[in-house]
Chain A
Amino acid sequence: MAEIKLNNLTKRWGDFIGVDDQSLHIKDREFLVLLGPSGCGKTTTMRMIAGLEEPTAGEIWIGDRMVNDDLPKDRDVAMVFQNYGLYPHMTIFDNIAYPLKVRGTDKSEIRPRVEKAAEQVELTEFLHRKPKALSGGQRQRVALARAIVRTPKVFLMDEPLSNLDAKLRVTMRAELKHLSRALQITTVYVTHDQIEAMTLADRVAVMKNGIIQQLGTPDDIYNNPANLFVAGFIGSPAMNLINGSVTDGMFVTTGGTRLVPVKSPDREKAILGVRADDMHVHEAGQGDIDVTIYAFENTGESTLLTVQWGKQRVIARGDRHLRKDQDDVVGISLNQDHLYLFDPETEDRIEM
C-alpha cells in the first residue's frame, strides 16, 4: 500500500527522449492507466518505477522512500509482463512461489499462499504443469498469480492483455477489474488500448512523445479531452474532426457549409470535434445537412455510416435496425451539447 510520486522524471537515450520531464502523483490504492500509442514513453515510465530502467533525471518515490538508487528487488513491486515472463523450466507452482522463495518466506507458509493465489485466478488444477503446456490466457493468469502471491506496495502491469485474442481479452479485463477491486493495491497499468484504459482506470494519463497530454478520470478524458490528440485517441470509432472556421457564431466547414452554432468568437481556422454517437442519422432532407454514404457497416449492436462530407469523411453511428446502402443519401444532425472546438495551430481545445 503506497502512493507513487514521479518528480520531473526524464529518460533520454542519446538524442532520443523517451520521457520528457514529467511529474505524476499516483494516489494510494489508485488504479492508474498510462495510455498512449507505441513509443509514447508509457512503458519506459513504468520500467523506471520498477527499476528496470534508470531515469536520466528526476525522482521516483514509492511511499515515503525515494527509490531511484534501489535495485528492482528492493522496491517491493510486482510486475506483470507483456510476454508474461514466466520461468519456462519451473512448474506453475514454482513460478508462483518464486517471489516468496527468494524473499526467504517460511516454507510452511509458501504452499498455502501459492494455492490461494492460484485459486484466485482459477489455476489450481494446473499447478504441476510447465508454462509450455498452458494456453495464452492461462499463462496470463500465472503471471497474475505470481504478482498477487505476496502483497507488494505496487502492481505494475505492462500491456498484460495485448497477447490474448479479442474474446479472452474481454473476459480477462473483467477479471482484472474484479481482482484489483478486491486487492486494493496501488496499480500502474500500461496499455495502448483505450477501451482497457476506460474500463479499468480510476484515472488515465494519456501520453504522447514522452509527455502526459491529459490526466483525469475516464469520464473526464472522454467528455473533456484537453487537446486534439486525446480527442482523436479516445473513443471507438475515433472522434470526427472537421476542418473549418467560425463565422458569426456558426461553424462553417472548409467546403462552405454553415453547420452548427458554436459559442466562440470568429476564428479563421478551427476544428470541430464530434463523436459518432453525437451525429444523428435521419432520412434525407430531415437533418442539418444531406450527405452521401461512402460505406455502410452493420456491427450487430449498431450501424456505422461513413459519409462523404465535402472533401472529408466522417463516421456516424446509426440505429441497429437502420438499413442503408452505399451511395444512399441521408440527413445528419449534430448533438449541439457535445461538440468540441480545437485550435488547429496549438491543437488545444477551445472552451465553449
Chain B
Amino acid sequence: MRDNTLKYLLVLPAVLVVFVTAIWPLIEAARLSFTVGRLNRPGSLDQYLGWENYLWAFFEEPAFWNSVWVTAIYTLLTVGLTTVFALGLALLLAPGGRLRSSAQALLILPFAMSPALIGVSFRFMFNPEFGLFDAFFGIVFPPLADVSWLADPQLALAVVVMADVWGWIPFLTLVLIGGLASVPRDTVEAAQVDGASGWRVFKDVTLPQLAPVLAVVVILKSIFSLKTFDQVFMLTNGGPGTATQTLSHYIYFNGMKYGQIGYSASVAWLMVIPMIFLTYAYAKFVFRKADQ
C-alpha cells in the first residue's frame, strides 16, 4: 500500500468518529431547526417551517433575549474573574519549591470535581438555613446575614458565577504556570538588572511574552462559559424565575421539557455561530504557538 493511501486510512477512524458524534448531530439539528419539530406531535419532525423558528426567537420571545443577556454577563464575569485570579495564583505559585509544588498538586482537586457536583455543593453551602457560606458571609458582613442568596435574582447569578470561577481557577492556573515557565528567565532577570521594578518587569516583559497563552486561556474559558449548563441546572435551575437561565439551559428547557425540538434546535444553531468564531481563534492561537 502506498504511504499516501495509508495516511488517509489511518486518520479515517478519527474522522468517522468526529463525523458521527459532532458533524452529523450538527447537520441534523440544522435540519430540525427548519421544522415544526414538536416531540408530542407525530410527523412534525419532518414538517418544514422555513425560518419561522428563528424569527420566533428573535421577535416573539423575550425569554430568548433574557438568556442571551444572562449568558453574556455570565461569560464576561466568569472569563474576567477566572483569568485575573488564575494569573495571580500562577504568578504566586510559578517559582516552584516544595511548598508551591504541593499547592500546585492540590489545585487540581476542584477541577477534578464534576460541574454538577460543584452545583449541588454550592447549593448546599448557600442554603439559607444550614449553608456554610450563607452563615460565613453573615458573620463577616452582618447586613448579608438575612439575605437569601439563591432567591435574589442578582445574588443568584453571583453565586452561579462564584461556583464557576471557583471550579475553573485551578485548571487555568496550571495552564498559566506552564505558560510562565516558557517565559525565558533571562529576560526577566535582564529587566530586573536593567532597573525595572517588580510591577514593570511583569508589565513590560512577562505579560507580553505570556500573551499567546493568555489568549488561549481567555478563548478556551469563553467557549466553556458560553455553553455552561450543568452547574446552572443543579444550582438554580435557571431561577429565580429566569434570572440565571443561560442559553444552554434555555435550549434544554424548550427542547426537553416543552418538547419544542425544532425551536430549541434553531436557538442551538444561533449559539453555534459565536462558537465557530471562538474555535477558529483558538485553533489559530494554538497552532501559531506550535509553529514557533
Contact = CB atoms under 8 A, between A and B. Distances in A.
Nearest to B194: A99
Interface stretch (B76-84, B153-161, B181-189): B181-189
A83 B193 contact: no
Interface stretch (B30-38, B167-175, B202-210, B243-251): B202-210
Contacts of B189: 50, 52, 72, 79, 81, 85
Contacts of A77: 193
A146 B195 CA distance: 12
Contacts of A81: 186, 189-190
Contacts of B209: 88-89
Contact of B191 (A50, A84, A87, A88): A87
Contacts of B101: none
Given A88-B209, A89-B208, A98-B204, A83 B184 contact: yes
Contacts of A50: 189, 193
Contact of A87 (B190, B192, B193, B195): B190
B189, B191, B195, B208: which has the most chain A beta carbons within 10 Å?
B195
A85 B195 contact: no
Given A73-B195, A88-B209, A102 B190 contact: no
A164 interface: no
Interface string B114-136: 00000000000000000000000
A73 B187 contact: no
A71, A73, A79: which has the most chain B beta carbons within 10 Å?
A73
Contact of A99 (B184, B186, B195, B197): B195
B197 A73 contact: yes
A103 B195 CA distance: 6
Contacts of B192: 51-52, 71-73
A78 B193 CA distance: 6
A55 B197 CA distance: 21
A15 to B, nearest CB: 15
A338 to B, nearest CB: 43
A221 interface: no
Contacts, number: 65
A118 interface: no
B291 to A, nearest CB: 13
Interface residues of B, number: 17
Contacts of A88: 187, 209
A86 interface: yes
B200 interface: yes
Interface in A234-251: none
A260 B158 CA distance: 92
A320 B190 CA distance: 46
B223 interface: no
B194 A98 contact: yes
B196 A73 contact: yes
A98 B205 CA distance: 11
Contacts of A89: 208-209
Contacts of A83: 184, 186
Interface in B50-91: none
Contact of A102 (B184, B186, B195): B195
A73 B205 CA distance: 15
A51 B194 CA distance: 12
Given A87-B205, A98-B204, A72 B186 contact: no
A146 B186 contact: no
B68 to A, nearest CB: 37
A102 B200 contact: yes
A1 B86 CA distance: 44
Contacts of B191: 87, 98, 102
Contacts of A52: 189, 192-193
Interface in A140-193: 146, 156
Nearest to A74: B195
Contacts of A98: 191, 194, 196, 204
A84 B186 contact: yes
A98 B186 CA distance: 15
Nearest to A150: B195
B184, B190, B204: which has the most chain A beta carbons within 10 Å?
B190
A337 B57 CA distance: 102
A85 B208 contact: no
Contact of B194 (A84, A146, A156): A146
Contacts of A79: 189-190, 193
Interface string A76-119: 01110111111111000000001100110000000000000000
A50, A78, A89, A156: which has the most chain B beta carbons within 10 Å?
A89
Given A99-B195, A102-B195, A85 B190 contact: yes
Contacts of A102: 191, 194-197, 200, 204
A99 B200 CA distance: 12
B184, B186, B189, B193: which has the most chain A beta carbons within 10 Å?
B193
Contacts of B205: 87
15 contacts: A52-B189, A73-B194, A73-B197, A79-B190, A81-B190, A82-B186, A84-B186, A87-B191, A88-B209, A98-B191, A99-B195, A102-B191, A102-B194, A102-B200, A102-B204
Task: Give the 8 A-B CB pairs with smallest separation, nearest first.
Answer: A85-B190, A85-B186, A99-B194, A72-B192, A89-B208, A79-B193, A102-B196, A73-B195
Given A50-B193, A81-B186, A102-B195, 15 more contacts: A51-B192, A52-B189, A52-B192, A72-B189, A73-B194, A77-B193, A78-B193, A81-B190, A85-B187, A86-B187, A87-B191, A87-B208, A88-B187, A88-B209, A102-B194
Interface of B: 184, 186-187, 189-197, 200, 204-205, 208-209
